[in-house]
Amino acid sequence: MKWEEVCKLHPNQYVKLNILDFCIADEKIVMYVTLILVIDNPNMVAKEFLRAKGNTIVYHTGTESRD
């Protein structure tokens, strides 16, 4: 799914994602992701962030995307 879809489904929440596809222009732009986990407990954000490796990231859906 696209990042915009994740933001619409889970507004203003931290999510754990697996990056499926990206492109590199002036910066890395994530195109498609798989949602792994919605992090409802704020105390778990740091723990999940530290567990994220490789193409797995933790990100907040309130972060503006650059189109």
Q: Is residue 20 part of a domain?
A: yes
Measured in degrees and rounded to the nearest 5, phi and psi for residue 3 equal: -55, -40
What is the chain's pLDDT, residue by residue, as a tens digit (67 residues)? 998 999 999 999 999 999 999 999 899 888 999 999 999 999 999 999 999 999 999 999 997 654 4
DSSP track, 1-67: -BHHHHHHHSTT-EEEEEEEEEEESSSEEEEEEEEEEEE--GGGHHHHHHH--TTEEEEETTSPP--
Q: Is residue 43 part of a domain?
A: yes
**pTM for the full predicted model:** 0.84
The residue type found at 16 is K
Q: Is residue 42 part of a domain?
A: yes
Q: Is residue 65 part of a domain?
A: no
Separation CA 61–CA 63 (nearest Å): 5
Q: Is residue 67 part of a domain?
A: no
Measured in degrees and rounded to the nearest 5, phi and psi for residue 34 equal: -115, 130
Q: Is residue 47 part of a domain?
A: yes
Q: Is residue 13 part of a domain?
A: yes
pLDDT value of residue 64: 65
pLDDT value of residue 24: 92
Our count of domains for the chain comes to: 1
